[in-house]
Structure 1
Amino acid sequence: MADFTAQDVKALRDATGAGMMDAKRALTENDGDFDAAAKWLRERGLGKAAERSGNANAEGAVAVALSPDGRAAALVELKSETDFGAKSPQFVALVNRLAEQVAAEGEAVAAAQADAIDDLKVTLKENIELGRVVRFAAADGNVLDTYLHVQNDRGVNGVLVELAGADAELAHDVAVHVAFGRPNYLDRDEVPAAEVEAERATAENQTRLEGKPEAALPKIVEGKLTGWFKRVPGGVLLEQPFAKDDKQSVKQYLGKASVVRFAQAVIGE
């Protein structure tokens, strides 16, 4: 039996970019000889992952999951070079498993799956890496929900929401809205003050150039800012017209309920 340690396997993986099982097999086949094992991997095309690490990986898949008790929710993004790789059964299975584990055990469990991700790099011959990993644990009395838009056999747009004073149906409606409204902020207070002041100055200058009376300036500027908050890259969630009833803003539709937080991951963004 070949004589080598776990540290030897790690060193070979680091040097060649091979998956864990392939590195173990290479050392076994070559009686623990490091150089011979590296050559063995190269000859079989199993040591290319390191060379692909700089390749663009704007494709991938998103998965969402609720914990078994429904009190935690997770969103996980796994990046790839191509949509072909991202919709493969192995890729989809891994990202789904990661989301379920994160929901049940916590965010740290995703990083612990580095070996599985490395092995998938070798199998699919792509630069694959972990993207966004988010976990919400609901406060007492709050409700969680998720939404996942699936395209070409893989999740491409995933959402988590936590609401207070709401039921599951309202939480789901908000999750669907976030998926397609793609807001960047929950409320106006989250928008950086410098950006708001810059937009206010632009609105004032525009209004003056339009020849509006000076006395009317404040009201007109505030109106323009309100419109900007709805559309500022991704917009402010509570200001957006609600997808289910666009005659009301999200805030108006919620009534006494409130959105505590939300998270979203969209492939390619």
Structure 2
Amino acid sequence: MAVSAKEVQALRQLTGAGMMDAKRALEANNGDAEAAALWLRERGLGKAAERSGRENAEGAIALARQDNVAALVHLRCETDFVAKSPDFVNLANDIAQGVVEKGEAAAAGFQPAIDDLKITLKENVELGEVVRIEAPAGHVLDTYLHVQNGRGVNGILIELDGGSQELAHDIALTAAFSRPSVVSVDEVDPDAIANERAQLEKETIADGKPEAALEKIVAGKLTGWHKRQPGGVLLEQPFAKEPKQSVGQQLGDVKIANFSQLLIES
């Protein structure tokens, strides 16, 4: 039966349940609020709202690919124990496959399944970041997923305008190891660069370096800062197969059209 927003709100205030859970409870009990409250209690859904505020920095990264389309999904939870459980990993994989097939909006359709996991696993399970890349003809798409204890923890999507599949994969591996924060120096926050430059200048002066060499020394150190791991610039990272060259040098005229990385940081 159809239930009103007012009835849903009243049940939410009574039980602390989520909006969709309250609506489902009322529909399952023909609008009877008392029976719906009992229905929620029996399923532990009245406690879901309490869990929603708990930190959920753990989780699993899922990767799916179909021809020229690929997707990454981060399904979040509180502990690595839950993150590597089969039900949790399988749901993350299902969401990623749905996003590949139907677009990023398809992820919202898995909310009832996510809510069910909150009950069965008794943790704050939540959909995190969702990324989808559809590469046009002539572009090269590659993916990488590092799996640890049965769940993905480091996922890469990369699309090149030009180049080869091998080159795209080697850059994906480089990124998986170096964990850059941006693709190019142009994407780095100018304020962050200015602050780092000022700090490097102070350190260089404190080291007693000659003033005439100050700019050159600071520029070299700033280049090193862009190469830092993690958090640096992808194009400045040493290329995995030829560390004496940067990713940018290996690319030459080839451009990175799209790049995404999802990580379990804990």
Q: How does the TM-score come out when normalised to structure 1?
A: 0.87
Instruction: Give the whole-Å Cα distance in 1 for the aligned partners of 2:157 and 2:177.
Output: 13
C-alpha change, 1:24 and 1:216, in structure 2 (3 Å) is closer
Give 2:184's aligned amino acid: D
In 2, the alpha carbon distance for the partners of 1:133 and 1:41 equals: 29
The structure 1 segments of at least 4 consecutive aligned residues displaced by more than 4 Å after TM superposition are: 6-16, 18-28
> 2:76, 2:83 → 1: CA distance?
8
Please name the residue that 2:196 is paired with: 199
**Counterpart in the other structure of 1:60:** 59
Is 1:219 aligned to residue 216 of structure 2?
yes
Residues 1:169 and 1:131: Cα distance change in structure 2 (over 3 Å): same
Task: Measure, in 2, the Cα distance between the counterparts of 1:233 and 1:201.
Answer: 21
Matches of 1:66 and 1:38, distance apart in 2: 42
Percent identity (aligned): 57
**Offset at 1:162?**
0.9
Aligned to 1:155: 152
Q: Distance in 1 between matches of 2:18 and 2:195?
A: 50
Is 2:244 the counterpart of 1:247? yes
Q: Distance in 2 between matches of 1:66 and 1:172?
A: 14
Aligned to 2:120: 123
Query: Which of 108, 121, 124 is 2:105 aligned to?
Result: 108
Aligned to 1:238: 235
Residues 1:82 and 1:27: Cα distance change in structure 2 (over 3 Å): same
What's the counterpart of residue 132 of structure 1?
A: 129
Q: For residue 151 of structure 1, report the CA deviation from its aligned partner.
A: 0.8
- What is the distance in 2 between the residues matched to 1:219 and 1:25? 68
What is the root-mean-square deviation of aligned Cα atoms in Å?
Answer: 2.5
State how far apart, in whole Å, the 2-side matches of 1:123 and 1:7 are.
28
Cα offsets for 1:179-211 (capped at 9, x unmatched) = 111000111111111111121222222222222
**Structure 2: runs of 5+ lacking an equivalent:** none
Structure 1: stretches of 5+ with no match in the other structure = none
The TM-score normalised by the length of structure 2 is 0.88
Inter-CA distance 172–13: structure 2 relative to 1 (3 Å threshold): farther
Deviation at 1:244, TM superposition (A): 2.1
Matched, 1:186 2:173: no
The amino acid across from 1:61 in the alignment is A
Partner Cα distance (2:189, 2:180) in 1: 14
Cα distance 1:114–1:236, how it changes in 2: closer, same or farther (>3 A)?
same
Instruction: Determine the C-alpha separation between the residues in 2 that align with 1:10 and 1:111.
Output: 20
